[in-house]
């Protein structure tokens, strides 16, 4: 469904966010067709207020899809090579597909973070269980009651830590 080029472009979240908005895509197409333009020219062509167009231009510029040049006090915006490449990609797919891919990448990234945090939270419980089992299986001369007591203490520590970790995960909504 997705071409290799879409994945390359949406690698940068700023680019993908910019491409997921129809007004920003219209601005890119306009700059590609007509060449460098000022804010006033873009706002007249699109029928939008200058401040609205400027906000879109700032996002496009921060994503490096357009570049700004100042000539005689006027800000002139032109499409960059990355912007032209992005338009070529959008001609083969829709902006909704780009936004969907961005959301998938965010979800994957947040899941990796959540899994790493969970692993860190549960690792002391695993260590307690291992210590309890190794102590119970100690080969030296130790009374059987001592082994059972050792094992019971570390199993209680393990269970307490698991409950603690679950509460932290629930509290942090991980």
**Tens-digit pLDDT profile for residues 66-117:** 999 988 888 899 999 888 877 877 776 665 666 666 566 666 777 888 888 8
Please give the residue that has the higher pLDDT: either 125 or 5.
125
Q: Is the pLDDT of residue 53 over 80?
A: yes
Q: Give the gyration radius of the chain's Cα atoms.
A: 29
Strands 66-71 and 37-38: unpaired
CA gap 11, 9 in Å, rounded: 5
Rounded to 5°, the CA angle 105-106-108 comes to: 65
What does the pLDDT look like over 97-111, one tens digit per residue? 666 665 666 667 778
Low-confidence winner among 53-57, 110-114, 155-159 (lowest mean pLDDT): 110-114
* Structural contact between residues 99 and 57, judged by C-beta atoms closer than 8 angstroms: no
Beta bridge partners of 77: 37, 68
Domains in the chain, CATH or no CATH each = 4-93 (1.10.10.10), 109-172 (no CATH)
CA gap 46, 53 in Å, rounded: 9
Which stretches of the chain are assigned E, i.e. beta strand?
A: 37-38, 66-71, 74-79
Query: Per-residue b/e over 72-89, b at no fewer than 16 CB within 10 Å?
Result: eeeebbebbebbeebbeb
* Structural contact between residues 135 and 146, judged by C-beta atoms closer than 8 angstroms: no
| CA torsion, ordered 106, 108, 110, 111, to nearest 10 deg | 160
* Structural contact between residues 84 and 34, judged by C-beta atoms closer than 8 angstroms: no
pLDDT of residue 101: 63
Average pLDDT of the residues in 123-147: 92
Tell me which residue has tokens 């000539």.
71
Please give the residue that has the higher pLDDT: either 50 or 2.
50
CA gap 153, 8 in Å, rounded: 53
Low-confidence winner among 13-22, 53-62, 158-167 (lowest mean pLDDT): 13-22
Beta bridge partners of 69: 76
Question: In whole numbers, what is the pLDDT of the chain averaged over residues?
Answer: 83
């Amino acid at each position: 469904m997705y071409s290799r080029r879409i994945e390359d472009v949406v690698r940068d979240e700023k680019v993908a966010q910019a491409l997921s908005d129809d007004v920003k895509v219209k601005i890119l197409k306009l700059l590609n067709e007509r060449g460098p333009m000022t804010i006033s020219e873009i706002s007249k062509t699109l029928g939008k207020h200058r401040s609205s167009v400027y906000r879109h231009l700032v996002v496009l510029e921060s994503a490096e899809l357009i570049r700004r040049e100042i000539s005689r006090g006027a800000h002139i915006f032109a499409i960059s090579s990355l912007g032209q490449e992005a338009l070529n990609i959008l001609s083969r797919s829709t902006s909704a597909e780009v936004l969907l891919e961005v959301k998938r990448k965010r979800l994957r990234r947040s899941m990796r973070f959540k899994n790493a945090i969970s692993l860190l939270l549960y690792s002391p419980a695993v260590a307690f269980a291992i210590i309890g089992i190794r102590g119970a299986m100690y080969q030296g001369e130790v009374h059987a009651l001592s082994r059972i007591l050792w094992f019971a203490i570390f199993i209680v520590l393990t269970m307490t830590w698991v409950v603690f970790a679950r509460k932290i995960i629930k509290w942090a909504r991980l």
